[in-house]
């Protein structure tokens, strides 16, 4: 079994008191208990009790995730699972917010001095309006969401998110919460060995967890992280500097950025798309196509489409839509993303889904391989169950390539 990583310290993380740490660790352990003890009970409950009852009442077997849900919501065990999951989610933010709130004045000053010492740009345009799909709900129950600003130079959302994501992922996204970025970088270097991006854009970067690995893999590239949340962008800029990196960050909408046509060789996002909307996604794909230079790559790492999994797994994952303030979570998994990418101008032969193996799983498998072959296989075969994952220990990636020829003809 993969050991859970402790979060790595850096100068922008709030110092938690003993009591705050206990609450945070309790929230994380409660999530672990739900995953390991409560979640496995749902399938037997469904097959042995709920499905037969559904058949008696409806005269047919449950066919899809909606049927499964109709039966399961009336079941006491499912209600216990769903309500405990919601409580754990609220608790992890509350526990993170306690130390963030106490440390906010000190860390605002720290962020200002780190940002002032950075050689990279921090762009926060006056009067920026975030889209309603981000500002109208506290997505995944994070109090205030990504955009709320209550004080000058506010970074509170960044402080809460950095710690909260570690608790949410129970450490399995690595010590710097950067497994998605690291896994996509590994994927690119293995599958596109000669691809050397000169400029890289990370859309919906939040606090830059996934952005930083690109700087490590491509130190000479000009890198930009953009997000619609002002507080998270300020935090990202300072956090990157605290980790020793000069990375440009801007408050900007991925639907309509201010960069020139063809400015980037690589445009990526990590778990951003499912927090947008059905109207925004086509615009974002078109914007990616506009921003890419000939030969460039668009890579979105996000939720696997529903049609890649069985109805029961669909039902389990769709609980995020119903109980975790993720309004677009299920709808996004039903979209034909390959068609959207083609409509945006990427040729059909140049668009595909693939799986980027999780860097932390590879790390654990390699470590275990040092012991015995059996223990290595055990780690490599373990399904990952912490959060937004593709079945089998990888992140689902949508990849589109902008051909060189098309641009030359145009
Ligand atoms: C789950 S977070 C992404 C996490 C981050 N990419 C990472 O890997 O750690 C989703 C982010 O997407 C941002 N977002 C949503 N819609 C956006 C848009 N149209 N343009 C830019 N950012 C957007 C949200 O503000 C939020 O910070």
**pLDDT tens digits, residue range 262-318?**
999 999 999 999 999 999 999 999 999 999 999 999 999 998 888 888 999 999 999
Is 178 in contact with 14 (CB distance < 8 Å)? Answer: no
The verdict on 336 and 279 lying in the same domain is yes
CATH (domain of 278): 3.40.50.150
Does the C-beta of 211 come closer than 6 Å to ligand 1?
no
Residue appearing with tokens 């605290």: 242
The verdict on 259 and 115 lying in the same domain is no
Does the C-beta of 275 come closer than 6 Å to ligand 1?
yes
Of 137, 161, 185, the one marking the end of a domain is 161
Is 390 within a domain?
yes
> Which one is predicted more confidently, 25 or 383?
25
The verdict on 189 and 105 lying in the same domain is no
Q: Return the pLDDT at 394.
A: 81
Residue 361 has pLDDT above 80, yes or no: no
Q: What percent of the chain has pLDDT over 90?
A: 84
Longest Cα–Cα distance in the chain = 69
Q: What is the mean pLDDT of residues 363-382?
A: 56
Is 312 within a domain?
yes
Q: What is the DSSP letter of 223?
A: E
| pLDDT tier at 388, thresholds 50, 70, 90 | very low
The verdict on 194 and 142 lying in the same domain is no
The verdict on 307 and 373 lying in the same domain is yes
Q: What is the mean pLDDT of residues 134-146?
A: 96
Is 302 within a domain?
yes
Which helix (H) or strand (E) segment holds residue 358: the answer is: none
Q: Find the radius of gyration of the CA atoms of the chain.
A: 21
The number of the ligand 1 atom at minimal distance from the alpha carbon of 253 is 20
Expressed in angstroms and rounded, the spacing between residue 261 Cα and the centre of ligand 1 is 22
Is 215 within a domain?
yes
Instruction: Look at strands 292-302 and 351-357 and give their pairing.
Output: unpaired
Of 135, 161, 187, the one marking the end of a domain is 161
Q: Return the pLDDT at 159.
A: 98
Does the C-beta of 281 come closer than 6 Å to ligand 1?
no
Is 391 within a domain?
yes
256 vs 280: CA distance, rounded Å: 10
Does the C-beta of 88 come closer than 6 Å to ligand 1?
no
- Residue 64, SS3 per DSSP: coil
Q: Return the pLDDT at 309.
A: 86
Expressed in angstroms and rounded, the spacing between residue 76 Cα and the centre of ligand 1 is 35
Of 101, 132, 161, the one marking the end of a domain is 161
The verdict on 113 and 207 lying in the same domain is no
Is 407 within a domain?
no
Q: What is the mean pLDDT of residues 20-25?
A: 96
- Residue 250, SS3 per DSSP: strand
Counting DSSP H helices and E strands in the chain, the numbers are 17, 8
Does the C-beta of 333 come closer than 6 Å to ligand 1?
no
The verdict on 225 and 150 lying in the same domain is no
Strand partners, 222: 199
Q: What is the DSSP string of 264-331?
A: EEEEEEES-GGGS-TTHHHHHHHHHHHHEEEEEEEEEEEPPPGGGS-HHHHHHHHHHHHHSS-TTHHH
Expressed in angstroms and rounded, the spacing between residue 223 Cα and the centre of ligand 1 is 16
The number of the ligand 1 atom at minimal distance from the alpha carbon of 165 is 9
Domain ranges, residue 328: 176-401
Q: What is the mean pLDDT of residues 6-15?
A: 94
The number of the ligand 1 atom at minimal distance from the alpha carbon of 269 is 6
Expressed in angstroms and rounded, the spacing between residue 157 Cα and the centre of ligand 1 is 13
The verdict on 123 and 189 lying in the same domain is no
Number of domains into which the chain is organized: 2
Does the C-beta of 204 come closer than 6 Å to ligand 1?
yes
Q: Return the pLDDT at 362.
A: 73
The verdict on 299 and 200 lying in the same domain is yes
186 vs 406: CA distance, rounded Å: 28
Does the C-beta of 270 come closer than 6 Å to ligand 1?
yes
| pLDDT tier at 369, thresholds 50, 70, 90 | low
165 vs 306: CA distance, rounded Å: 24
Return all residues near 34 (Cβ < 8 A) that are at least 6 apart.
Answer: 81, 84, 85, 88
Is 167 within a domain?
no
Q: What's the whole-number average pLDDT of the chain?
A: 91
| pLDDT tier at 126, thresholds 50, 70, 90 | very high
The verdict on 149 and 208 lying in the same domain is no
Q: Return the pLDDT at 407.
A: 47
The verdict on 180 and 151 lying in the same domain is no
The verdict on 182 and 113 lying in the same domain is no
């Amino acid at each position: 079994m993969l050991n859970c990583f402790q979060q790595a310290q850096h100068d922008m993380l709030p110092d938690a008191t003993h009591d705050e740490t206990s609450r945070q660790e309790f929230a994380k352990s409660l999530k672990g208990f739900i995953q390991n003890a409560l979640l496995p009970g749902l399938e037997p409950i469904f097959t042995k009790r709920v499905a037969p009852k559904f058949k008696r009442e409806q005269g047919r077997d449950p066919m899809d995730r909606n049927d499964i849900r109709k039966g399961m919501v009336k079941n006491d065990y499912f209600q216990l699972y769903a309500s405990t999951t919601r409580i754990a989610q609220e608790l992890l933010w509350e526990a993170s917010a306690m130390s963030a709130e106490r440390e906010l004045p000190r860390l605002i000053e720290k962020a200002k001095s780190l940002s002032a010492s950075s050689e990279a740009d921090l762009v926060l345009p006056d009067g920026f309006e975030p889209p309603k799909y981000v500002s109208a709900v506290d997505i995944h129950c994070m109090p205030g969401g990504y955009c709320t600003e209550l004080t000058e130079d506010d970074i509170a959302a960044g402080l809460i998110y950095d710690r909260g994501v570690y608790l949410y992922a129970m450490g399995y996204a690595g010590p710097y919460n950067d497994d998605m970025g690291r896994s996509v970088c590994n994927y690119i270097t293995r599958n596109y060995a000669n691809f050397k991006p000169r400029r890289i854009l990370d859309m919906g970067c939040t606090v830059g967890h996934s952005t930083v690995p690109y700087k490590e893999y491509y130190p000479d590239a000009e890198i930009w992280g953009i997000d619609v949340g002002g507080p998270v962008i300020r935090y990202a800029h300072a956090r990157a500097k605290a980790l020793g990196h000069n990375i440009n960050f801007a408050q900007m909408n991925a639907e309509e950025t201010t960069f020139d046509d063809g400015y980037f060789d690589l445009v990526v996002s990590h778990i951003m798309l499912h927090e947008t909307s059905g109207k925004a996604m086509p615009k974002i794909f078109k914007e990616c196509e506009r921003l890419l230079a000939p030969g460039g790559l668009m890579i979105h790492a996000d939720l696997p489409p529903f049609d890649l999994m069985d109805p029961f797994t669909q039902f389990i994952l769709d609980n995020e839509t119903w109980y975790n303030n993720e309004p677009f979570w299920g709808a996004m998994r039903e979209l034909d993303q390959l068609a959207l990418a083609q409509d945006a101008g990427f040729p059909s032969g140049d668009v595909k889904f693939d799986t980027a193996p999780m860097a932390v799983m590879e790390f654990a498998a390699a470590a275990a391989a040092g012991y015995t072959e059996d223990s290595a296989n055990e780690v490599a075969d373990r399904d990952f169950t912490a959060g937004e994952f593709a079945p089998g220990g990888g992140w689902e990636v949508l990849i589109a390539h902008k051909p060189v020829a098309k641009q030359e003809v145009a």
